[in-house]
Amino acid sequence: MESALDWHTAHALLAWQMELGVDEAISDRPVDRFAVEQAAKEQAEAKKAQVAVARAAPAPPPEPQIDAVAEAEKAARGAASLDALQAAMGAFEHCELKRGARSLVFCDGVPGAKVMIVGEAPGRDEDRQGKPFVGKAGQLLDKMLAAIGLSRAESVYITNVVPWRPPQNRDPRPEEIATMLPFLRKHIALAKPEMLIVMGNISCQALLGKRGITRLRGTWTKAEDRPAMPMVHPAYLLRTPAAKREAWADLLAVKARLESLTS
């Protein structure tokens, strides 16, 4: 309990302190500097202990990794029709290409046609219109098909390896191709063409497991259990008109095979 000083005693005490050299009143109570130091030490130690406990705690479990190919296989397996497949692809969220594209480019032409063309990836025009091969390369493709009596309006079905335009028209990456491959395989299975035209290196990589279109072109092979003709891409023909001769030969081989089906 504090005892109150009377005025005279307090005055005498003050005078005595001034005598001793005290010239400033800082606080009305004494401060125990030893206790302050001790409290600061204890606080610092408690903080250290807290940090040590946090460091020793087990790291939170990593986010579960999504297997995009397995997800695509599951979604493709569940699609029983071309419409259902298109819807499943539209709902698929595990391919980065989707983020940068305007539209899902699914198909054009006649479902169930004897000839199915598999191109590489949509470009700017295809992304805008939501249909494969509608730009310059597509116009050349239409002329090539017309030269052997085919058209997308009547006798050809067309799709691509990936349904979304890659940014800056870069090639689709191997992992993007692998992710979308289950959808392409199901697309072919549902469209049931008699033969495939595998157009360009990306398509050869996806369906034949190899690149090197200038070596592969012109020789019938098998893809997805049906005859497949690898052909150079019409975009390549636009840059290299001299290659049109070989492309013409390949088109004639397709025409001959088609005729052999009906004869």
State the residue number with the nearest CB to ligand URA: 119
Site for ligand URA (CB under 6 A): which residue of 76, 115, 160, 250? 160
Q: Which residues pair with 195 in a beta bridge?
A: 115
The angle that helices 174-191 and 82-91 make with each other, rounded to 10 degrees, is 160
Site for ligand URA (CB under 6 A): which residue of 88, 97, 137, 208? 137
Rule CB under 6 A: is residue 133 a binding residue for ligand URA?
Answer: yes
DSSP code for 227:
E
Give CA separation, 70 vs 75, 180, 187, in Å: 9, 10, 17
* Residues whose CB is less than 8 angstroms from the CB of residue 91 and which lie 6 or more positions away in sequence, other chains included: 75
Measured from the CB atom, is 71 or 104 closer to ligand URA? 104
Measured from the CB atom, is 132 or 182 closer to ligand URA? 132
CB of residue 138 vs ligand URA: minimum separation in angstroms? 6
Measured from the CB atom, is 71 or 238 closer to ligand URA? 238
Q: What angle do CA 68, 69, 74 make, to 5 degrees?
A: 95
Measured from the CB atom, is 132 or 193 closer to ligand URA? 132
Q: Contact region for ligand URA (CB under 6 A) — 29-37, 88-96, 125-133, 149-157? A: 125-133
Judged by DSSP in three states, 131 sits in coil
CB of residue 216 vs ligand URA: minimum separation in angstroms? 16
Query: 122, 104 in Cβ contact below 8 A?
Result: no
Q: Contact region for ligand URA (CB under 6 A) — 81-89, 129-137, 221-229, 247-255? A: 129-137
Residues 85-124 that bind ligand URA (CB under 6 A): 119-123
Give CA separation, 124 vs 92, 136, 254, in Å: 21, 11, 29
